[in-house]
Structure 1
């Protein structure tokens, strides 16, 4: 096989969802946007639905339609971007619930789908999406009179427990939703970890389901093995790859493996991120290129048929740290060329 093998443990995703759910006394939804954080929204959502999740969140209506096709009727699928121009038919046909973000979206939805349910996303200080406090004061009575199903906001600094923005946003959310007769939601993964004050009626974990920080107790979800295409011996002074950035200082064995920045293994990993052979770390030698990575395997007794870049030796956040990024980017960048193998949830 010439492409990498991405193994996805649906049982671990379900276990992470259950662990986060056990931290709260409210409903726990699941965020499956960006194709389930790069791992396949259909299989991920189906496994979580079997485990008891009844509400899912996606970024855009097109994602919601794909999740509906995987789940069938029943679970509620909410769209963070709200009701965009051109979304009406998708929202109606897939039975999606837009989280309305502005007076313009509110007017669009009420005109196009007056009997269809909707939620509202309120801006409590992140200044990214959401209805601002003055506009909400004007819209609130009309919103409550319609088929409103959820009021939500989003924390900007939930992964920093001591950041003052958390308490400020909590206070703003309470002020904007006091007396509201529908469920409220403020917390994703980080907010769940902040404690009960942030949980309200529904939480919506994302990255924690997929084994990433800030949920340090999460079970690992992915293993990515990259096949070795060729092994060569270098003498001292010989160089490797674009720019000749690696120079051998001894007799060196180089393995060229299938994978590169076209597959989400970003160029910033060059010379920094290790790979693993049965738990033994081996360093990247030279630059990561579009389709290939060169690895110094000199100290291995035997070179295996594949090396792991994600797995027991290195999780998504460790790889992200080596690449100078975050685990979210590592997961959501995993490319379409990988063969994907799913371990079913029990």
Structure 2
């Protein structure tokens, strides 16, 4: 079988949620947008519900509808993109809570779904989503009269603890929300690690649940084992892969493994990335192609049936460094061709 196996350890996921939850005094939810960062939102949310999570966040109404079908009627599902045109019936039928980002969204929501729960997202300096201070000042009394369930903002630089933007956004958030009798939320994973001043009533970890930075103490959640299709010996002067980009200088043994950029293994990582065969690190050589990658296995006495692309020896952040990107992109790019296996379900 040439299909690679993506294993998601739900016990490790639950452990990461418990550890992050233990750092806070209020409620801890979970961000499961982008299909739980590529790992399966339904399975992830159901596992976290067993730990006590009752509030989830998605990016799109369509994601919320799918999640509601998977987890049933109890938990709160908040939608970061708010109330977009055409969303009303889906928000109502799936009982989703939009985080309203503008006056237009507020008017649309009140007109099309009067009495339906909503939250408000404020822009404290990231300039991405949310109401800016002047807009919020004009709308604040009207919004509060409709009894929002949550008021939130998002930190732009929380993965850099010493960045002055963190303190600036905290100050602006206080200015926009102090004295309000509404649950408040500012922090995702990085904000939790900044300390209690950033926690407010609800924290909403994302990447830290899945084993990624900046939560350095996270348990690894994902492993990816890729089958070896073929092994060949090459002589000095022979090249491997597209463009003759790698040429053997000495006799070498090369394994071709069954995954590529169609599976989310970014092409740019090729020159710097490795896989693991047991305790031996093996360099990826040549160009990452659509379905296959070449690996130098010269150092191995016996070539295993599979090699580890992600797992105990390297997580998504390691591959991300090789590709010049971030662990988020590696996780959310993981393709649909993998055989998925859930542990601790």
For residue 271 of structure 1, report the CA deviation from its aligned partner.
2.1
Separation of aligned partners in 2, 1:262 and 1:105: 37
8 Å contact kept, 1:273–1:284: yes
Separation of aligned partners in 2, 1:45 and 1:112: 29
Separation of aligned partners in 1, 2:69 and 2:278: 39
8 Å contact kept, 1:279–1:312: no
Q: What's the secondary structure of 1:179's corresponding residue?
A: coil
Q: How does 1:159-308 map to 2 (within 5 A)?
A: 159-308=159-308
Where does residue 34 of structure 1 map in the other structure? 34
8 Å contact kept, 1:100–1:120: yes
**1:57-116, CA deviations, whole angstroms, 9 ceiling, x for partnerless residues?**
000000001111111011000000000111111101100000000000000000000110
For residue 334 of structure 1, report the CA deviation from its aligned partner.
0.4
Separation of aligned partners in 1, 2:88 and 2:188: 27
Where does residue 316 of structure 1 map in the other structure? 316
For residue 285 of structure 1, report the CA deviation from its aligned partner.
1.2
Separation of aligned partners in 2, 1:49 and 1:312: 26
Where does residue 154 of structure 2 map in the other structure? 154
8 Å contact kept, 2:258–2:293: yes
Separation of aligned partners in 1, 2:158 and 2:270: 31
Separation of aligned partners in 1, 2:312 and 2:285: 21
8 Å contact kept, 2:259–2:293: yes
Separation of aligned partners in 1, 2:147 and 2:135: 19
Where does residue 96 of structure 1 map in the other structure? 96
Uncovered stretches (5+) of structure 1, i.e. residues with no partner: none
Where does residue 87 of structure 1 map in the other structure? 87
Separation of aligned partners in 2, 1:212 and 1:225: 19
Separation of aligned partners in 1, 2:312 and 2:60: 33
Where does residue 105 of structure 1 map in the other structure? 105
Separation of aligned partners in 1, 2:64 and 2:344: 23
Does 2:143 match 1:136?
A: no
For residue 179 of structure 1, report the CA deviation from its aligned partner.
1.2
Q: How does 1:49-88 map to 2 (within 5 A)?
A: 49-88=49-88
Separation of aligned partners in 2, 1:67 and 1:151: 22
Does 2:42 match 1:3?
A: no
For residue 190 of structure 1, report the CA deviation from its aligned partner.
0.3
8 Å contact kept, 1:188–1:206: yes
Structure 1 runs of 4+ with >3 Å offset: none
Q: How does 1:8-19 map to 2 (within 5 A)?
A: 8-19=8-19
8 Å contact kept, 1:152–1:184: yes
Separation of aligned partners in 2, 1:297 and 1:82: 50
Uncovered stretches (5+) of structure 2, i.e. residues with no partner: none
Where does residue 330 of structure 2 map in the other structure? 330
Separation of aligned partners in 2, 1:29 and 1:268: 34
Q: What's the secondary structure of 1:149's corresponding residue?
A: coil
8 Å contact kept, 1:116–1:147: no
Separation of aligned partners in 2, 1:339 and 1:99: 35
**1:136-187, CA deviations, whole angstroms, 9 ceiling, x for partnerless residues?**
1111111111131000000000011111111110010001011111100000
Indicate the RMSD between aligned Cα atoms, in angstroms.
0.7
For residue 240 of structure 1, report the CA deviation from its aligned partner.
0.4
Separation of aligned partners in 2, 1:279 and 1:104: 57
Count of residues in Structure 1 that have an aligned counterpart in Structure 2:
345
Separation of aligned partners in 2, 1:134 and 1:269: 44
Separation of aligned partners in 1, 2:4 and 2:85: 39
Separation of aligned partners in 2, 1:297 and 1:162: 42
